[in-house]
Amino acid sequence: MFSAIARIFRTPDLRRKIGFTLAIIAIYRFGAHVPAPFVHFPNVQDCVDLTSGTDGLLSLVNLFSGGALLQLSIFALGVMPYITATIITQLLRVVIPHFETLHKEGQAGQARLTQYTRYLTIALALLQSTTLVTVARTGQLFGVTGIPECTNLLVNDAWWAQLLMIITMTAGTGLIMWFAELVTERGIGNGMSLLIFTSIAATFPAALGAIWAARGFEIFLLVLAVGIVVVALVVFVEQSQRRVPVQYAKRMVGRRTYGGTNTYIPIKVNMAGVVPVIFASSLLYIPALIAQFYTPADGTMPPAWVTWVSQYLTTGDHPLYMAIYFLLIIGFTYFYVAITFNPVEVADNMKKYGGFIPGIRAGRPTAEYLDYVLTRITLPGSIYLGLIALIPLIALATVGANQNFPFGGASILIIVGVGLETVKQIDAQLQQRHYEGLLR
């Protein structure tokens, strides 16, 4: 293992790529701690220390920004606008035929879709930065009252000062997007995935330190042991796949013979990734957000439905909240897999190139068989996602950790997924040069 790592740094091209990637990550983390203009940074830091963060969607956004959101930094929005824009672009393929046509056009169509994603990212960043600055100006960013530090977050709340903050945060999102593309082109791994990995990994020391300070060294060791087991299970499931065998018939083109090979279609147990968890968190946050608008400011009794929402749908340690969250993840897993994997399209492509599944006729029977396999394998995948997503909520109820608990939910799925993909790319680079990779 150590000899393989030494080979990485003895290879000039690979060493240069890894060094460039680490430099971009360092700049990104530095920007996450640079406050935006007209932010009262001491008050923000005091309020971050006094509160344990927020729940729901805002907590998820703060996790993906590496804690920069609640610090109102120039990179406060992090990669969340890009993630949202990418998901929206994928969903629009089902609604708008032009997007589906671009998806099938190969590299040129993908370039157009990427450009649309960039434009949508800037638009979402403009919207989210406006919302964030407005919430910070009203003193509701941390969701607490009675603490002066949390209500005086800006040193100047004039319209031009707010406009400058909005422009700065939007420009920060554009800069992050450019960083990610530079890493993809000149570094190692997928740039945006690595920046997300960095943001989440940056919260691990603070989260573990908070558990040690609150519950003691014994609970800290227990959490680490559970974390190692969870990581091992996540790696096992993320690598698991159902391989559907495919054979290609021989065909003559001139004097050459093509085909006659055996391959397979890899259908992963977790094809949806972390997207269902994001969808479920966003949808569960909507009732609490609506209830805030109907909460009386004069201290009178709110409507009955507002009280019910506040009691059952805002605290992650409530059993009803966990049950709804789990069922939403299962539903969104089936929904997202149905969008991203089209059995009819796969069957048509196999038929076009002379491929078939042994024992299954080409065309419609192949599509029905693939749909049958996909439906069966998505069930354990969705249950697995639901259980992983419930780990932070269970930790919230038992250990007293916040919802940014490191060993569970979206964080552990992204950390493991990006880590495995990056190691595979480094291994492929080593095998091209040394005939022996990082993994044996």
The structure tokens listed for 25 are 């990550």
Same domain membership, residue 150 and residue 19 = yes
Q: What is the average per-residue pLDDT within 89-114?
A: 82
| 3-state SS class at 177 | helix
CATH number at residue 301: 1.10.3370.10
List, for residues 196-241, the tens digit of each pLDDT value: 888 888 878 877 787 787 778 888 888 888 888 888 888 899 888 8
| 3-state SS class at 254 | coil
Bigger pLDDT: 253 vs 116? 116
| Residue 117 · residue 82 · CB < 8 Å | yes
pLDDT at 54: 46
412 assigned to some structural domain? no
Farthest CA pair distance, the chain: 87
The structure tokens listed for 255 are 């004097």
- Residue that is last in its domain, among 134, 168, 202: 202
Same domain membership, residue 359 and residue 324 = yes
Same domain membership, residue 38 and residue 66 = yes
Type of residue found at 268: K
- Residue that is last in its domain, among 168, 202, 236: 202
Type of residue found at 382: S
The structure tokens listed for 80 are 């969340």
Residue 266 φ/ψ, nearest 5 degrees: -80, 120
Instruction: Name the burial class of residue 149, with classes exposed (0-12), middle (13-18) and buried (19+) by CB atoms within 10 angstroms of its CB.
Output: buried
Q: What is the average per-residue pLDDT within 175-186?
A: 90
Same domain membership, residue 155 and residue 214 = no
The structure tokens listed for 197 are 């990995």
CA distances from 377 to 46, 245, 356, 366, 373 (A): 48, 16, 21, 17, 6
- Number of domains making up the chain: 2
| Residue 281 · residue 390 · CB < 8 Å | no
The structure tokens listed for 9 are 């740094």
| 3-state SS class at 78 | coil
434 assigned to some structural domain? no
- Residue that is last in its domain, among 168, 185, 202: 202
pLDDT at 402 over 60: no
pLDDT at 360 over 80: yes
Nearest Cα to Cα of residue 233 among 423, 387, 110: 387
66 assigned to some structural domain? yes
Same domain membership, residue 256 and residue 214 = yes
pLDDT at 4: 64
pLDDT at 175 over 90: yes
Q: How far apart are alpha carbons 71 and 45 in whole angstroms?
A: 7
Q: What is the average per-residue pLDDT within 74-88?
A: 85
Compute the C-alpha angle 9/13/14, nearest 5°: 50
Same domain membership, residue 182 and residue 211 = no
Same domain membership, residue 330 and residue 249 = yes
Same domain membership, residue 378 and residue 244 = yes
User: Would you say the C-alpha torsion 130, 131, 133, 134 has a positive or negative sign?
Assistant: positive
Binned at pLDDT 50, 70 and 90, residue 168 comes out as very high
Binned at pLDDT 50, 70 and 90, residue 373 comes out as very high
Same domain membership, residue 135 and residue 218 = no
Binned at pLDDT 50, 70 and 90, residue 372 comes out as very high
The structure tokens listed for 214 are 């609150």
Q: What is the average per-residue pLDDT within 400-427?
A: 76
427 assigned to some structural domain? no
Q: Which domain holds residue 294?
A: 206-407
Lowest mean per-residue pLDDT among 68-72, 186-190, 335-339, 388-392: 68-72
| Residue 273 · residue 417 · CB < 8 Å | yes
Which are the contacts of 237, defined by CB distance < 8 A and separation ≥ 6? 269, 270, 381, 384
Same domain membership, residue 253 and residue 126 = no
List, for residues 303-327, the tens digit of each pLDDT value: 777 777 777 777 666 788 888 889 9
| Residue 138 · residue 42 · CB < 8 Å | no
Q: What's 301's DSSP letter? A: P
User: Would you say the C-alpha torsion 125, 142, 57, 28 has a positive or negative sign?
Assistant: positive
421 assigned to some structural domain? no
Residue 296, number of CB atoms within 10 A of its CB: 10
pLDDT at 316: 66
Mean pLDDT, all residues of the chain = 80
Same domain membership, residue 198 and residue 220 = no
Q: Where are the beta strands (DSSP E) in 58-156?
A: none
List, for residues 33-57, the tens digit of each pLDDT value: 888 888 877 777 777 666 554 455 5
Q: What is the average per-residue pLDDT within 284-291?
A: 75
Residue with tokens 């969008």: 339
Q: What is the average per-residue pLDDT within 375-390?
A: 90
Same domain membership, residue 222 and residue 128 = no
415 assigned to some structural domain? no
Lowest mean per-residue pLDDT among 28-32, 119-123, 296-300, 315-319: 296-300
34 assigned to some structural domain? yes
Q: What's 256's DSSP letter? A: E
426 assigned to some structural domain? no
User: Would you say the C-alpha torsion 186, 177, 69, 157 has a positive or negative sign?
Assistant: positive
pLDDT at 60: 63
pLDDT at 53: 44
Q: How far apart are alpha carbons 75 and 36 in whole angstroms?
A: 8
Percentage of the chain with pLDDT > 70? 80
